């Protein structure tokens, strides 16, 4: 092991107040103005030469290693920690894990800092945009918050006369943005944690995992990552601007060994989120006669192949691969995201595309627009709920009379006899009071609008045949088709666990950014933003 002297391996700097207080104490009480000037000049010169020395040392670094003395200090530290643990019979493996992790952190920090420096030194000082040689080259240090603590790096930078801009080429090579205070790993973990839980909890969880994220402004970092994810998403969705591009994306989905004919299922729904638009202006706006609506729609969809849907040992339905789209930016945005996701998951290869949803008109309009050849199906349970609503209204909540009235109608729905259901409801009307009359009329219209989407018999018969062991091959396939939109409903609930907590208010920019991260994660595209995440999964 060679003795590579430390770069700027200073431990955490004392705070500014402490430094100022120190300077005040050190300053002699009375100095002539000339002496003061000389002193100041000397101090500036000293700082400059210290910086130049540090930069030169950094620039000369060609290997990332620990010095023999550093290794010895680390081993000694580890030994001391273990000795304390062995002296205390009540301390268990948890304490051993904790102490060893702490002990190794500083050597890892030093190694990471030196490795990053070596990497930075190897980067040619060229413009990352036009590849031209940068002029007026200089060195500047930058401190990055990393997995192992703060790392100070020196990077060469220069001016590109062609682009008219100053560039730090090493920053790009290291995966650091222009202003990112955090390393790619810390960026990723901030994004992951805050998209799963509120930032104040995330800081505490991270701390237990050995990461001090309070220093990188966890919430802001996650927001920055969310914006990056949105940028990535708009490029991804924007790949469909021309017909040629659509063809290209569609054929990419067909790569790999040929598969059996499959059904692609698309489920769509929405839920509402509370935002703090016009925060603090409530009184003012109300007085001006403006209606304040803080609840806004989040549109969501999920898409999966039926042959990717299976059952656990406990008979629970699981979908092994599925795509999601989720947005606060309106129907157009949802439509584009969903279409892109569907293309990537076999829209053009599917034998049948099945869109399942509740009766909302916007959903069927979207389906007609984007998936004109798809088969549309009304969620069976929503249809049943509409009948139950009438039953409860006519005969009282949960009464045997309500049950008796609704039972044959529920069966008719399952037997594809929507026409009979509509006839039965129409027959009711002359005997009803005006208020009930209106309600029943609304439900009649609901069934009339959706009659074409209410074909359940074939699938339900197939399920029965499977249970009885008499199913044909075709029925075995049919039985796998969902009759309800449970997959999207559970997805909505999962998003709401993060985005609809008690007392939570969002801004559109804030919720969209985090939702974008969450969706990227769920869609299995996390490594698009964090390439290191992929390598760690495969290298282990």
3-state helix, strand, coil in the chain (%, to 5): 55, 15, 30
For Zn ion, the binding residue among 46, 79, 97, 129 (CB under 5 A) is 129
489 CB neighbour count, 10 Å cutoff: 19
Instruction: Report whether 428 contacts 387 (CB < 8 A).
Output: no
Element holding 46 (H helix, E strand): helix 33-60
Instruction: CB nearer to Zn ion: give 132 or 524.
Output: 132
Judged by CB under 5 A, does residue 137 bind Zn ion? Answer: no
Stretch that binds Zn ion, among 163-171, 187-195, 242-250, 420-428 (CB under 5 A): 163-171
Pick the closest to residue 140 from 159, 152, 130, 154 (CA basis): 154
Instruction: CB nearer to Zn ion: give 165 or 467.
Output: 165
Find the helix packing angle between 486-499 and 508-522, rounded to 10°.
130
Q: Is the dihedral of CA 112, 117, 118, 124 positive or negative?
A: positive
For Zn ion, the binding residue among 19, 162, 368, 438 (CB under 5 A) is 162
The Cα 219–Cα 221 span in angstroms is 5
| Shortest CB 166 distance to Zn ion, Å | 10
Instruction: CB nearer to Zn ion: give 159 or 362.
Output: 159
For Zn ion, the binding residue among 6, 64, 100, 163 (CB under 5 A) is 163
Phi (first) and psi of residue 133, to 5 degrees: -65, 135
Stretch that binds Zn ion, among 51-59, 157-165, 227-235, 284-292 (CB under 5 A): 157-165
For Zn ion, the binding residue among 116, 120, 160, 222 (CB under 5 A) is 160
Burial of 355 (0-12, 13-18, 19+ CB in 10 A): buried
| Shortest CB 127 distance to Zn ion, Å | 3
Residue 182 β-bridge partners = 145
The Cα 39–Cα 536 span in angstroms is 52
Instruction: CB nearer to Zn ion: give 134 or 462.
Output: 134
Give the number of residues written for the chain: 540
Instruction: CB nearer to Zn ion: give 128 or 175.
Output: 128
Instruction: CB nearer to Zn ion: give 166 or 388.
Output: 166
Stretch that binds Zn ion, among 112-120, 129-137, 300-308, 468-476 (CB under 5 A): 129-137
Tell me the H-state helices in 122-183: 169-173
The Cα 351–Cα 344 span in angstroms is 15
| Shortest CB 150 distance to Zn ion, Å | 31
Instruction: Report whether 176 contacts 123 (CB < 8 A).
Output: no
Judged by CB under 5 A, does residue 127 bind Zn ion? Answer: yes
Residue 271 β-bridge partners = 298
Total residues at the site for Zn ion (CB under 5 A)? 7
Stretch that binds Zn ion, among 15-23, 159-167, 190-198, 505-513 (CB under 5 A): 159-167
The Cα 430–Cα 438 span in angstroms is 11
| Shortest CB 179 distance to Zn ion, Å | 19
The Cα 259–Cα 253 span in angstroms is 12
| Shortest CB 128 distance to Zn ion, Å | 8
Q: Name the E strands within 102-202.
A: 135-146, 149-160, 165-167
| Shortest CB 170 distance to Zn ion, Å | 16
* Residues ≥6 apart with Cβ < 8 Å to 462: 471, 474, 475, 476, 478, 479
- In the 8-state DSSP scheme, what is residue 469? T
- In the 8-state DSSP scheme, what is residue 452? G
| Shortest CB 55 distance to Zn ion, Å | 24
Binding mask 190-219 toward Zn ion (x if CB under 5 A, else -) reads ------------------------------
For Zn ion, the binding residue among 31, 130, 317, 318 (CB under 5 A) is 130
Task: Return the structure tokens found at 236.
Answer: 């991804």
| 318 CA to centre of own chain | 21
Task: Return the structure tokens found at 356.
Answer: 């399942």
Stretch that binds Zn ion, among 1-9, 10-18, 127-135, 149-157 (CB under 5 A): 127-135
| Shortest CB 137 distance to Zn ion, Å | 14
| Shortest CB 144 distance to Zn ion, Å | 24
| Shortest CB 130 distance to Zn ion, Å | 3
Task: Return the structure tokens found at 279.
Answer: 């925060």
Stretch that binds Zn ion, among 64-72, 148-156, 162-170, 528-536 (CB under 5 A): 162-170
Stretch that binds Zn ion, among 2-10, 155-163, 190-198, 492-500 (CB under 5 A): 155-163
Instruction: CB nearer to Zn ion: give 160 or 182.
Output: 160
| Shortest CB 10 distance to Zn ion, Å | 35
Element holding 269 (H helix, E strand): strand 263-274
| Shortest CB 157 distance to Zn ion, Å | 13
Instruction: CB nearer to Zn ion: give 160 or 193.
Output: 160
Instruction: CB nearer to Zn ion: give 162 or 276.
Output: 162
Instruction: CB nearer to Zn ion: give 14 or 132.
Output: 132
The Cα 324–Cα 393 span in angstroms is 37
| Shortest CB 161 distance to Zn ion, Å | 8
The Cα 259–Cα 439 span in angstroms is 48
Instruction: Report whether 365 contacts 334 (CB < 8 A).
Output: no
Stretch that binds Zn ion, among 153-161, 207-215, 218-226, 275-283 (CB under 5 A): 153-161
Instruction: CB nearer to Zn ion: give 38 or 162.
Output: 162
- In the 8-state DSSP scheme, what is residue 5? P
Instruction: CB nearer to Zn ion: give 166 or 262.
Output: 166
Instruction: CB nearer to Zn ion: give 109 or 167.
Output: 167
Instruction: CB nearer to Zn ion: give 128 or 359.
Output: 128
| Shortest CB 160 distance to Zn ion, Å | 3
The residues binding Zn ion (CB under 5 A) are 127, 129-130, 132, 160, 162-163
């Amino acid at each position: 092991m060679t003795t590579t002297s430390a770069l700027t391996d200073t431990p955490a700097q004392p705070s500014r107040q402490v430094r100022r207080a120190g300077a005040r104490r050190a300053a002699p009480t009375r100095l002539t103005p000339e002496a003061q000037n000389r002193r100041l000049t000397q101090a500036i010169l000293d700082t400059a030469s210290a910086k130049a020395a540090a930069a030169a040392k950094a620039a000369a670094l060609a290997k990332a290693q620990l010095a023999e003395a550093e290794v010895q200090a680390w081993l000694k530290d580890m030994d001391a920690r273990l000795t304390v643990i062995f002296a205390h019979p009540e301390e268990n493996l948890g304490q051993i894990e904790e102490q060893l992790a702490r002990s190794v952190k500083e050597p890892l920090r030093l190694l990471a800092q030196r490795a990053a420096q070596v990497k930075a030194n190897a980067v040619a000082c060229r413009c990352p945009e036009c590849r031209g040689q940068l002029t007026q080259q200089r060195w500047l240090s930058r401190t990055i918050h990393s997995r192992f603590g703060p790392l100070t790096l020196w990077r060469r930078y220069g001016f590109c006369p062609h682009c008219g801009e100053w560039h730090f080429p090493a920053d790009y090579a290291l995966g650091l943005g222009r202003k990112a205070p955090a390393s790619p790993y810390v960026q990723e973990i901030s994004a992951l944690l805050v998209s799963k839980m509120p930032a104040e909890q995330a800081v505490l969880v991270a701390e237990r995992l050995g990461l001090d994220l309070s220093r990188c402004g966890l919430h802001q970092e996650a927001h920055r990552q969310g914006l990056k994810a949105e940028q990535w998403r708009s490029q991804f969705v924007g790949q469909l601007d021309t017909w040629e591009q659509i063809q290209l994306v569609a054929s990419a989905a067909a790569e790999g060994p040929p598969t059996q004919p499959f059904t692609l299922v698309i489920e769509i729904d929405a839920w509402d989120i509370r935002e703090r638009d016009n925060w603090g202006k409530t009184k003012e706006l109300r007085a001006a006669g403006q209606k304040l609506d803080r609840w806004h729609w989040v549109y969501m969809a999920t898409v999966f192949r039926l042959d990717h849907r299976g059952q656990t040992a406990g008979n629970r339905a699981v979908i092994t691969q599925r795509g999601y789209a989720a947005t606060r930016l309106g129907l157009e945005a949802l439509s584009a995201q969903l279409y892109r996701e569907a293309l990537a998951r076999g829209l053009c290869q599917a034998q049948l595309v099945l869109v399942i949803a509740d009766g909302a008109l916007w959903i069927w309009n979207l389906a007609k627009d984007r998936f004109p050849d798809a088969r549309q199906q009304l969620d069976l349970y929503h249809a049943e709920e509409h009948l139950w609503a009438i039953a409860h209204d006519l005969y009282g909540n949960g009464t045997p009379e309500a049950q008796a009235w609704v039972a044959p109608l529920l069966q008719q729905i399952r037997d594809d006899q929507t026409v009979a259901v509509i006839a039965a409801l129409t027959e009711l009307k002359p005997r009803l009071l005006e208020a009930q009359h209106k309600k029943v009329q609304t439900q009649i219209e609901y069934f009339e609008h959706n009659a074409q989407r209410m074909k359940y018999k074939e699938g339900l018969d197939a399920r029965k045949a499977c249970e009885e062991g008499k199913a044909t091959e075709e029925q075995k396939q049919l039985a796998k088709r969902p009759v309800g939109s449970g997959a999207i409903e559970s997805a909505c609930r999962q998003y709401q666990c993060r985005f609809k907590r008690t007392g939570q208010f969002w801004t559109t920019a804030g919720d969209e950014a985090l939702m974008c991260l969450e969706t990227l994660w769920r869609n299995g595209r996390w490594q698009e933003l964090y390439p290191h995440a992929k390598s760690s999964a495969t290298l282990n």
